[in-house]
Amino acid sequence: MFPEAFVETWIDRLTKPGSLILDPFCGRGTTPFQALLMGRNAIASDINPVAYCITKAKTNAPAPKTVRFRVTVLEKGYSRRSWEPKRRQLPEFFHHAYRMDTLRQLLYLREQLDWKNNDVDCMIAALILGSLHGETEKSSSYLSNQMPRTISTKPAYSIRFWEKHGYTAPERDVFELLRGRITFRYESEPPCLRGNVLRTDMRELPSTTARVCWDRLIESPARMTP
Ligand SMILES: C[S@@+](CC[C@H](N)C(=O)[O-])C[C@H]1O[C@@H](n2cnc3c(N)ncnc32)[C@H](O)[C@@H]1O
């Protein structure tokens, strides 16, 4: 991920308010998010659906009360019993990675969230994606067992790591965690402008954005082209 200060410096140096910035490999959306905060317009694309979901949520944030309301509705619709058969079918890795109820809730939410078409669901999906694993030992805002690294490792390696260290998955309620995540996410005001986020291979971008003339192209690793 780009450090925010890096992006801020270069946007300030190379563009003006109202400029249009394109990041065709947006990842977690640092560039389009910062661009919008600085009064620039942004087009972002990524081939990876996780990157698309996170960037879309950051750059098209719905009102927090609509997100909270949707979480309440989802929680009311959740039935632990209905998701038990699906939980049992999961490979061994998942049974070490998450507590039973966390896993059932995740399966339910994965099916319910229409993240491709609905901004509120996209925000909830992005908040869950950001919580799936992290430094569980240090923070209660992560759902999984303590991973060997903050970057996910292969399932078999993770299982060996957990067994060797005697780690077990923490008790986590996804709905409760989401409420905390929403508060945290909206502590700072989201950008007023909205980004245009595409889920596409950048090699197909010319046909999607053929009529757009952008002012700056920002790539990762860092390179900027007029
Ligand atoms: C290093 S990450 C970008 C990180 C980003 N600068 C940030 O701050 O989060 C590179 C991204 O390029 C995406 N990518 C790789 N090949 C691509 C392609 N052909 N078209 C679109 N996206 C691609 C990957 O999915 C990945 O999210």
Every domain of the chain and the residues it spans:
1-59+190-226, 62-189
Q: In whole angstroms, what is the distance from residue 150 CA to residue 100 CA?
A: 22
Residue 5 confidence (pLDDT) above 70: yes
Looking at residue 10, its amino acid is W
Contacts of 225 (CB under 8 A, 6+ apart): 216, 217, 219
The confidence score (pLDDT) of residue 56 equals 98
- Residues having CB closer than 6 A to ligand 1 are 1-2, 24-25, 27-28, 30, 45-48, 51, 201-203, 220
Percent of the chain with pLDDT over 90: 75
Ramachandran angles phi, psi of 140, nearest 5°? -85, 10
Extract the tokens encoding 14. 């190379």
pLDDT average, residue stretch 5-28: 92
Local confidence band at 218 (pLDDT 50, 70, 90 cut-offs): low
Using the mean position of ligand 1's atoms as its centre, give its distance from the Cα of residue 46 in Å.
Answer: 6
Write down the pLDDT at residue 215.
63
What tokens does 96 get?
Answer: 């070490």
The answer, as to whether pTM is greater than 0.85, is yes
Q: Is 139 helix (H, G, I), strand (E, B) or coil?
A: coil
> Of 22, 47, 129, which is best to mutate to test ligand 1, by the most ligand atoms within 8 angstroms of its C-beta?
47
Report the pLDDT value the prediction gives residue 104, as an integer from 0 to 100: 98
Other beta carbons within 10 angstroms of residue 184's beta carbon come to 11
Q: In the prediction, which pLDDT does 123 show?
A: 98
- Which pLDDT score is estimated for 131? 94
| d(CA 148, ligand 1 centre) in Å | 24
CA distance 198 to 192: 19
- 1-59+190-226: CATH, from 3.20.20.70, 1.10.10.60, 3.40.50.150, 3.40.50.720: 3.40.50.150
Centre of ligand 1 to C-alpha 151, Å, is 16
Per-residue b or e along 187-200, where b marks 16 or more CB atoms closer than 10 Å to that residue's CB: eeebbebbbbbbeb
pLDDT for 181 beyond 90: yes
Q: For residues 163-187, give the mean pLDDT.
A: 95
DSSP label at residue 132: S
Question: How many Å lie between the centroid of ligand 1 and the Cα of residue 1?
Answer: 10
